[in-house]
Amino acid sequence: MAFSASNCLALLSFAFFVSSSIILSCASRGIEARGSPISSLVSRELFHSIFLHKDDNACPAKDFYTYDSFVEATRHFPNFGNAGSLSTRKREIAAFLAQISHETTGGWATAPDGPYAWGLCFKEEVSPQSDYCDSSNKEWPCYPGKSYKGRGPIQLSWNYNYGPAGKALGFDGLRNPEIVANSSSIAFKTALWFWMTVQKPKPSCHNVMVGRYVPTEADIAANRTAGYGLVTNIINGGLECGRPNNAQVNDRIGYFQRYAQLFNVNTGPNLDCENQKSY
């Protein structure tokens, strides 16, 4: 079949239009995916229904932990809440929010709306027992006069966490650890950094919650089974795991059960770590 010059030009124009439309469509979808998948699962309204009392006058962190800072922080960790099925994604987010709620809780047994409605009440540790400096760690040496006490949603602690967190996120964690309690965005980023980062021999909390945890021989011997309890072991196993009916572990579980219900997902098995050896 013969084509005239005008037909060829029309065909080329049509092909360019179609290909350009496909490229633009794919690009826009890519930007949307990279923007914030979290906002599609955690609306502003849901966030505030989870943290009912975080901005009460009784909470020292009043007005510090904002929804916008949370969403902004997740953009730096695009795999968070974005791996696996919809249920897996929701369960991971619920688990993360539950753990940071326990770390920053202001709740008590008879608190209004229950003890699990008081997450994100504190932004730094009150009356720390030390400056959390491990002087034996030469890779991340402590800076004179600085305290590496718990700060932010995950209560980031110790020089060996502040140093690498700062390096990964673009701040000097050793010389300026206070920024974690002064910047809401950085505070959330440090919590997500801890959640997403493998720190051998520990797996990442993220990999555990999305089903990517592969136990080593040492893990199997220590009965470190996949589930929310293993996440607790990663975060604070030395003080809480291997102990029957530990109050701190139960508090973490209480938050998770409430949030899983709000996300309309089940919690999965192995919620506690009482039969696990710590790392």
Residues marked as catalytic: 103
Residue 76, C-beta contacts closer than 8 angstroms, at least 6 positions apart: 169, 189, 192
Contact (Cβ atoms closer than 8 angstroms) between residue 145 and residue 90: no
In this structure, which amino acid lies at residue 149? K
Distance, CA of 237 to CA of 210 (rounded, Å) = 20
Q: Which residue has the tokens 């790392």?
A: 279
| Residue 265: C-alpha distances to residues 35, 90, 253 (Å) | 24, 7, 14
In this structure, which amino acid lies at residue 50? I
Beta partners for residue 202, in sequence order = 199
> Length of the chain, please?
279
Distance, CA of 154 to CA of 168 (rounded, Å) = 16
Contact (Cβ atoms closer than 8 angstroms) between residue 160 and residue 132: no
